[in-house]
Amino acid sequence: MDRREFDVETFPGKSRDRREFDVEAFPGKSMDCREIQCRSILTRTSGYLKPVCSHSLNPYLGCGFGISSCGEGCYVRFNRWITRGREWGSFAEVKMNAARVYLDTAASEAKWARFARGAFAIFLASSTDPWQPAETRYRVTRQILQAMRDCPPDTLILQTHTDKVLDDLSLIETLSGICELRVHISIEGDRERLPGLPPPPCTLDRRLTALETLASRNIFAVACLSPLYPLQNADAFFYRLAAIGTRAVVIDHFIEGDGTRDGSRTGQTRLPEAMARVCPESVKLEYRDRVIGIARHYLPVGISADGFAGRYRPVFPEPSPVLNTVKGFLAGR
C-alpha cells in the first residue's frame, strides 16, 4: 500500500493541516479532504430511495472512489449541491460529529419513520462509500455503527464497493443480531474493468472474498450488479456467487437506475460507450432482462429499487439447462 500526503482543510479559521492518508488504487491523484461539523445525519428519503428505506445516512460528503470506475457512472457526480463545481472524486468532507448527531436524533426520526413509512430503515450510504480511503484514518463509519448498537434502526442496509467493509466485521455481525441487516457489495459483473475506464477501487476477487467472508458469519450478503456490466459468462458468474454463500443479487441497469427513465445522466459519461465496445446489446434494457432470467436459476434476484429494498424474485424451481456445463467449466479452470 502506498502512503502519500494529502491536504486536509480543517474548520474555518484554523490553519491548514497536513495529514497522511493510505492511497489504494490511485496513488498520485490529489484529493481535498476537509473536516466538517454536520447539523443532521439522517436524511428522509424521496424519489428513487423512498420505496427502499426511510432514511439515508452519509458519513462523508464526496467520495475518494469517484475517480475509479464506480465513480464513472455514479449519479452523484451530477448533484451540483454536493459537487459545487468540484470534480467528482477530488474531495471528501468528513462529518466528524456524525455519530453524536445520530444518537441525538435517531429516536425522533425512528418515531417519525415508523409512523410515516412503517419502519426505521437506513441506507448507509447513498451518495458516498462508507469505507472509502478517508475512513482508514477517521473511522466515522465505525463510530456510527458503534452508536447504532445503542440505538439500532429496524433495518440497516450497508452499501460499499470495497472489501474494507471487513474492517468492521465484528460490529456488523453484532448489529445483524439486533436489526435486519444486509450488506450490499457492488460487483458490476465478471470483468475486472471495461476498456477506456479507470480500474475499480477494489479488485473483483477481493470483493468476492468479502461476500464469502460475510456469508460465512451468517450475515446477509448481497451482490449488486449496479450498474450492470456486460458479462463474459453469466451462468458461471451467478453459480460462483451462489457457491460462496451470496444470499441474493441486485441487478440494476443504468437505464432507469441513474434517476432518469432513459439513462440520460449516464449517457453524459464514458460508461455506455465502454459497455458498447464490449457488447453492443448491453446498453439496452432488454440485456438486463436476459441477465435476470439467467440469474434466477441460481439466486433470488432484486431488480433496481426493489432489489435495494430487499424485495427479490425467487429462484426458478428448475435448474439451469447449462448447469452441468458450468460446473465442468469451473472445475477445469
Task: Summarize pLDDT for 34-57 with one digit per residue, the tens.
Answer: 999 999 999 999 998 999 999 999
CA–CA gap between residue 251 and residue 131 (Å, rounded): 22
> Sign of torsion, CA 71 270 308 218?
negative
CA–CA gap between residue 261 and residue 268 (Å, rounded): 14
CA–CA gap between residue 331 and residue 333 (Å, rounded): 6
Run of H or E including 313: none
CA–CA gap between residue 249 and residue 299 (Å, rounded): 7
pLDDT at 29: 61
pLDDT at 193: 93
pLDDT at 234: 97
Contacts of 290 (CB under 8 A, 6+ apart): none
Q: What residues in the chain have per-residue pLDDT under 50?
A: 1-28
3-class SS of residue 223: strand
Give the pTM: 0.88
CA–CA gap between residue 308 and residue 106 (Å, rounded): 22
CB crowding 194-222: b at 16 or more within 10 Å, else e: beebbebbbeeeebbebbbbbbeeebbbb
